[in-house]
């Protein structure tokens, strides 16, 4: 059974940094895309970043390019999202997700597995 467990959220001020972690278990993820999504109150869930576990190809949403970095640790089965220069508009619940497709699909509805989410709040 696939489990994705996020941690690292919190309340920070604008300009601060946070690192989110996702512990993945339950299967071998070498053929998976691992992604971070976020959902702000009243808004749809959107992709933030994604990485293919073995190929290493990476995607970033335009809104976070240059500020966020996605990475993975194969030995620990962990996926990270380093968030720098945080803005109030980054406030959302952040979710870790996994998808076994060969080609990245940024629509959250097609992703197979999800964590429970972690709240990130950025004050101005």
pLDDT tens, position by position, 72-84:
998 999 999 999 9
Give the whole-angstrom CA distance, residue 93 versus residue 49: 14
Q: Residue 108: what pLDDT?
A: 97
- Sign of the torsion formed by the C-alpha atoms of 42, 33, 16 and 62: negative
Give the whole-angstrom CA distance, residue 109 versus residue 27: 21
In this prediction, residue 97 has a pLDDT band, given cuts at 50, 70 and 90, of very high
Summarize the confidence of residues 17-41 as an average pLDDT. 96
Residue 47 half-sphere exposure toward CB, CA atoms < 13 A: 24
Cβ pair 35, 109 in contact under 8 A: no
Q: Residue 2: what pLDDT?
A: 94
In this prediction, residue 85 has a pLDDT band, given cuts at 50, 70 and 90, of very high
In the chain the first and final C-alpha atoms are separated, in Å, by 40
């Amino acid at each position: 059974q696939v489990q994705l467990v996020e941690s690292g959220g919190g309340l920070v001020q604008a300009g601060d940094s946070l690192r989110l972690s996702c512990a993945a278990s339950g299967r071998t993820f070498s053929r998976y895309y691992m992604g971070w999504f976020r959902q702000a109150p009243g808004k749809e869930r959107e992709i933030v970043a994604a990485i293919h576990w073995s190929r290493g190809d990476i995607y970033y949403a335009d809104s976070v390019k240059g500020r966020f970095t996605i990475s993975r640790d194969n030995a620990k089965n962990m996926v990270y999202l380093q968030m720098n220069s945080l803005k109030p508009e980054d406030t959302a619940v952040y979710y870790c997700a996994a998808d076994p497709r060969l080609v990245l699909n940024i629509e959250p509805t097609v992703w197979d597995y999800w964590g429970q989410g972690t709240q990130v709040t950025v004050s101005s």
